[in-house]
C-alpha cells in the first residue's frame, strides 16, 4: 500500500516553494539568435525524430508581469509565447517538448493528441496580461 | 466500453430490498465509509465483489462532499449517524447489481456507527491546511479527472484557465464570452471535489470565490447543462467519470492551463476514453482519490478489512487472493490507476512532474480502454517473454 508521503502541512510548504523564476530572457534570446538557423534546424530535426507533431522547437521562456494575486496557485509569472492560459498576451509560433522535464515542458509536450488553439480576448485582463483580483 | 455497466447515481440511493437495520449488518464484517459521489460507482462494484469474495465484507456508506468527509473523520469519534447505503449479499438481494441504487439500512446504532474510512477526491490540502491528527493517514488512490462541460448545442470546444477565472470568479460579469450570464454558469458547493479541483485549476483560490448558479449534486449540473435552453451561454462542471457515461447528452470542453500552448481533453481526442492526456500531463485538472483511515504505528490500517479494501483500490497484492483484478474495476469506473500514470503532483492544482511507476501497468490500462497505443503492447504470461522487462497484468512492461 502506498501511503501519501506529503502531509497537508508539507503540501502547503511545497506550494509555497513552487514560485516561478523570472528569466532574463532578452539576453538569452539574443544568444539564441547568434546560433540562429543551425540551432533551429537541429532542434526541429530532433523534434521530428522524436515524433513530435509540432515541427518547431521548444523556445526560451519569457516573463510576463506577475499575476495580481488572488491567492491563485500556479497561474504563473513565466510563460512561453502563446502559453498564457488564454490571456491573449502572445500568439507565438507552435511549441512542443519531445523530452519534457519540467512542469511547463510537460504540459506542452509533443503528442498526437487532438489539440485546440484558443487565445481569447479578455477585456478585464490588465494591460500587462495579469489577472485582476477576484471580487468578494 | 467504459462505464457501460455503471450506475449514473442519478437519483438518491433507494431501498430495493426489505428495510434492514444498520445494526443487523454489524455481524457481517462491515466497513463504514463516507464517500465522495464520484467514487460511488467504483465502491459499489468493488463492494459487490468483496461481499461474495474470499474475505466477505459488507460495505456501508454515505456520500457527501470530499471536505465534509474529511471534516468528519478528523473528529475524536467520527460517526455515521444517518441511514446509510449498503452492498447486499446475494442472499439479501439476489437481483442486485452495481448498476442499481444500493439499498439503505436504517441507522439504529446508538450514537451512530463508527466511521472507518473517509474519501476525498482532492488532495487534503484543498480542504484544510491542518495536518491529520495522530493515528490517521491518507492513502492516495486512483486518479480522477474533472472537466468543464457545455451542452451539445454549444459551439464552444475549449476553455482557457483565464477564461475560467473570469467566468467563475466574476459571477458571469467577467466579460468572458460567451459565459456571461450567471444563470447559465452551474457550480457545486465548495465541499465537492469537482468544484475545488476546477476552481483551483483556473486560479480561483479559495474556491469559495467561484460563483454561478449553485446546484447540490453533480447530476443536477449535468442535467442543467444538458437541458439548457440557451446552450451557447451554458457551462458546468462534472467529474470525468460522470461525463464519460453521459457523452450523448453534453460535451467536455478541452482545457488550456496557464503556461500551456493548446487546450486538451482528458483523452487523446474528444471521442476516445484513453485518458492519454491526463496520464501524460497534457490535461491539468485532476486529483487523486484519497482515503483517510486509522493506522497503527507502522502506518498500516488498523482495521484489516479496511486494509484489504484499500489494497484492492491501490492495486496491491492481497491475501487471500481476491479472485478478480480490482484494477479492471478501477479502470471501468473511469479513474486511472496510479500505475498507469506518467506524471504526478503533490498539491491540489500544483505543478506536474514526471512519474515512473515502480510497477507500471501502462499496457494493461491502454488495452482496457482501447487506446491505439495498445497495439504496440506485448501480451505475456510470465517474465520470460519480456526481455529485461516484467510481465504485469498480462502485458510486458519496462520494469
Residues B171 and B235 in one domain: yes
CB nearest A122 (choices: B175, B204, B256): B175
Residues B156 and B277 in one domain: yes
User: What ipTM does the predicted assembly reach?
Assistant: 0.91
- With cut-offs at 50, 70 and 90, classify the pLDDT of residue A94: low
B-interface mutation test, from A5, A8, A76, most B Cβ less than 10 A away: A8
Q: Inform me whether the C-beta atom of residue A87 falls under 8 Å from chain B C-beta atoms.
A: yes
Q: Which helix (H) or strand (E) segment is B291 a member of?
A: strand B286-294
* Residue B180 and residue B228 in contact, taking contact as beta carbons nearer than 8 Å: no
Assigned domain for B13 exists:
no
Q: Inform me whether the C-beta atom of residue A124 falls under 8 Å from chain B C-beta atoms.
A: yes
Is the predicted pLDDT of residue B289 greater than 80, yes or no?
Answer: yes
Is the predicted pLDDT of residue A86 greater than 90, yes or no?
Answer: no
Least confident of A86-100, B45-59, B167-181: A86-100
Alpha-carbon distance B228 to B318, whole Å? 47
Total residue count of chain B as it appears in this document = 399
- In this complex, do B350 and A14 lie within 8 Å of one another by their Cβ atoms? yes
Closest CA relative to residue B200, chosen from B369, B67, B397, B48: B67
Q: What is the per-residue pLDDT for A75?
A: 43
B-interface mutation test, from A51, A113, A132, A135, most B Cβ less than 10 A away: A113
List chain B residues with CB under 8 Å of A135.
169-171, 209
List chain A residues with CB under 8 Å of B163.
86, 120, 122
List chain A residues with CB under 8 Å of B166.
122, 124
Residues B295-332 have pLDDT tens digits of 999 999 999 999 999 999 999 989 888 888 999 999 99
Assigned domain for B324 exists:
yes
Q: Inform me whether the C-beta atom of residue B204 falls under 8 Å from chain A C-beta atoms.
A: yes
A58 is written with which cell numbers?
521548444
Assigned domain for B292 exists:
yes
Domain of B231 in residue numbering reads as 142-286
pLDDT (average), residues B352-365: 97
Q: What is the mean pLDDT of chain B?
A: 93
Q: Inform me whether the C-beta atom of residue A62 falls under 8 Å from chain B C-beta atoms.
A: no
First and final C-alpha spacing in chain A = 42
Strands B104-106 and B58-63: unpaired
B17 or B238: whose pLDDT is higher? B238
CB nearest B165 (choices: A8, A104, A131): A131
Considering only residues 29 to 58 of chain A, which have any Cβ-Cβ distance to chain B shorter than 8 Å? none
Residues B196 and B242 in one domain: yes
Is the predicted pLDDT of residue A123 greater than 70, yes or no?
Answer: yes
- With cut-offs at 50, 70 and 90, classify the pLDDT of residue B169: very high
* Residue B86 and residue B59 in contact, taking contact as beta carbons nearer than 8 Å: yes
Residues B155-164 have pLDDT tens digits of 999 999 999 9
A47 or B193: whose pLDDT is higher? B193
- With cut-offs at 50, 70 and 90, classify the pLDDT of residue A91: very low
Out of B266, B286, B306, pick the residue that ends a domain.
Answer: B286
CB nearest B139 (choices: A1, A100, A112): A1
Domain holding B331: CATH number? 3.40.190.10
Residues B82-111 have pLDDT tens digits of 999 999 999 999 999 999 999 999 999 999
Assigned domain for B4 exists:
no
Residues B32 and B102 in one domain: yes
Q: What is the mean pLDDT of chain A?
A: 55
* Global pTM value: 0.80
List chain A residues with CB under 8 Å of B304.
none
- In this complex, do A18 and B165 lie within 8 Å of one another by their Cβ atoms? no
Alpha-carbon distance B218 to B288, whole Å? 18
B378 or A78: whose pLDDT is higher? B378
Q: What is the per-residue pLDDT for A61?
A: 29
Q: Inform me whether the C-beta atom of residue A129 falls under 8 Å from chain B C-beta atoms.
A: no
pLDDT (average), residues A9-17: 31
Is the predicted pLDDT of residue B7 greater than 70, yes or no?
Answer: no
Residues B129 and B30 in one domain: yes
Domain count, chain B: 3
Strands B117-120 and A115-116: unpaired
Assigned domain for B343 exists:
no
- In this complex, do B160 and A12 lie within 8 Å of one another by their Cβ atoms? no
Assigned domain for B310 exists:
yes
Query: Which of A17-31, B18-32, B234-248 has maximum average pLDDT?
Result: B234-248
B334 is written with which cell numbers?
473511469
Q: Is the dihedral of CA B346, B349, B355, B359 positive or negative?
A: positive
Q: What is the per-residue pLDDT for B18?
A: 57
pLDDT (average), residues B226-245: 97
Strands B136-151 and B104-106: unpaired
Nearest residue of chain B to residue A59 (CA atoms): B261
Residues B159 and B272 in one domain: yes
Amino acid at each position: 500500500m502506498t501511503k501519501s508521503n506529503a502531509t497537508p502541512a508539507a503540501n502547503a510548504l511545497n506550494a509555497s516553494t513552487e514560485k516561478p523564476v523570472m528569466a532574463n530572457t532578452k539576453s538569452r534570446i539574443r544568444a539564441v539568435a547568434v546560433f540562429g538557423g543551425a540551432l533551429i534546424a537541429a532542434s526541429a530535426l530532433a523534434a521530428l525524430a522524436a515524433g513530435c507533431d509540432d515541427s518547431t522547437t521548444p523556445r526560451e521562456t519569457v516573463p510576463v508581469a506577475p499575476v495580481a494575486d488572488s491567492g491563485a496557485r500556479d497561474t504563473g509569472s513565466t510563460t512561453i509565447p502563446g502559453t498564457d492560459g488564454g490571456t491573449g498576451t502572445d500568439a507565438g509560433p507552435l511549441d512542443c517538448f519531445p523530452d519534457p522535464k519540467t512542469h511547463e515542458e510537460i504540459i506542452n509536450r509533443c503528442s498526437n493528441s487532438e489539440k485546440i488553439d484558443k487565445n481569447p480576448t479578455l477585456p478585464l485582463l490588465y494591460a500587462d496580461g495579469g489577472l485582476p483580483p477576484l471580487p468578494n | 466500453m467504459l462505464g457501460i455497466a455503471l450506475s449514473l447515481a442519478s437519483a438518491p440511493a433507494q431501498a430495493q430490498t426489505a428495510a434492514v437495520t444498520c445494526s443487523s449488518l454489524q455481524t457481517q464484517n462491515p466497513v463504514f465509509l463516507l464517500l465522495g459521489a464520484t467514487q460511488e460507482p467504483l465502491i459499489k462494484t468493488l463492494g459487490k465483489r468483496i461481499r461474495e469474495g474470499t474475505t466477505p465484507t459488507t460495505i456501508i456508506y454515505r456520500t457527501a462532499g470530499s471536505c465534509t468527509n474529511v471534516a468528519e473523520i478528523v473528529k475524536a469519534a467520527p460517526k455515521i449517524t444517518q441511514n446509510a447505503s449498503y452492498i447486499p449479499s446475494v442472499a439479501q438481494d439476489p437481483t442486485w447489481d452495481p448498476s442499481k441504487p444500493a439499498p439503505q439500512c436504517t441507522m439504529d446504532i446508538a450514537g451512530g456507527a463508527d466511521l472507518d474510512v473517509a474519501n476525498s477526491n482532492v488532495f487534503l490540502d484543498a480542504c484544510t491546511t491542518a495536518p491529520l491528527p495522530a493515528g490517521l493517514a491518507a492513502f492516495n488512490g486512483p486518479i480522477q479527472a474533472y472537466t468543464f462541460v457545455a451542452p451539445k448545442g454549444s459551439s464552444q470546444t475549449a476553455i482557457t484557465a483565464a477564461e475560467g477565472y473570469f467566468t467563475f470568479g466574476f459571477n458571469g460579469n467577467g466579460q468572458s464570452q460567451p459565459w456571461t450570464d450567471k444563470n447559465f454558469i452551474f457550480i457545486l458547493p465548495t465541499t465537492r471535489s469537482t468544484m475545488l479541483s476546477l476552481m483551483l485549476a483556473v486560479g480561483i483560490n479559495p474556491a469559495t470565490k467561484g460563483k454561478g448558479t449553485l446546484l447540490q449534486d453533480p447530476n443536477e449540473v449535468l442535467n442543467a447543462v444538458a437541458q439548457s435552453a440557451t446552450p451557447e451561454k451554458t457551462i458546468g462542471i462534472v467529474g470525468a467519470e460522470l461525463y464519460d457515461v453521459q457523452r450523448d447528452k453534453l460535451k467536455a470542453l478541452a482545457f488550456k492551463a496557464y503556461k500551456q500552448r493548446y487546450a486538451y481533453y482528458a483523452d487523446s481526442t474528444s471521442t476516445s476514453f484513453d485518458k492519454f492526456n491526463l496520464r501524460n500531463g497534457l490535461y491539468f485538472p485532476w486529483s487523486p482519490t484519497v482515503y483517510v483511515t486509522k493506522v497503527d504505528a507502522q502506518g498500516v490500517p488498523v482495521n484489516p478489512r479496511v486494509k484489504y479494501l484499500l489494497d484492492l483500490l491501490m492495486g496491491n497484492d492481497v491475501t487471500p487472493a481476491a479472485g478478480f483484478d480490482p484494477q479492471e474495476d478501477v479502470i471501468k469506473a473511469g479513474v486511472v490507476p496510479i500505475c498507469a500514470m506518467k506524471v504526478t503532483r503533490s498539491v491540489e492544482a500544483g505543478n506536474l512532474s514526471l512519474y515512473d511507476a515502480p510497477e507500471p501497468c501502462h499496457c494493461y490500462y491502454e488495452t482496457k480502454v482501447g487506446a491505439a497505443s495498445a497495439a504496440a503492447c506485448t501480451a505475456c504470461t510470465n517474465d520470460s517473454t519480456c526481455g529485461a522487462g516484467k510481465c504485469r497484468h498480462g502485458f510486458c512492461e519496462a520494469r
